[in-house]
Amino acid sequence: MIGRKAKETVSETHIYVLVNIKNSIKSGESIEYFIVPSKQLAKGGYHKGNWPNIEREKIISCRDKWSAFGKSE
Structure pTM? 0.77
Q: What are the pLDDT tens digits along the chain (73 aa)? A: 577 777 778 888 889 999 988 766 666 778 899 999 999 988 888 888 778 888 889 999 999 999 988 865 5
Environment class of 41 (CB within 10 Å of its CB; exposed 0-12, middle 13-18, buried 19+): buried
How many angstroms separate the CA atoms of 71 and 68, rounded?
7
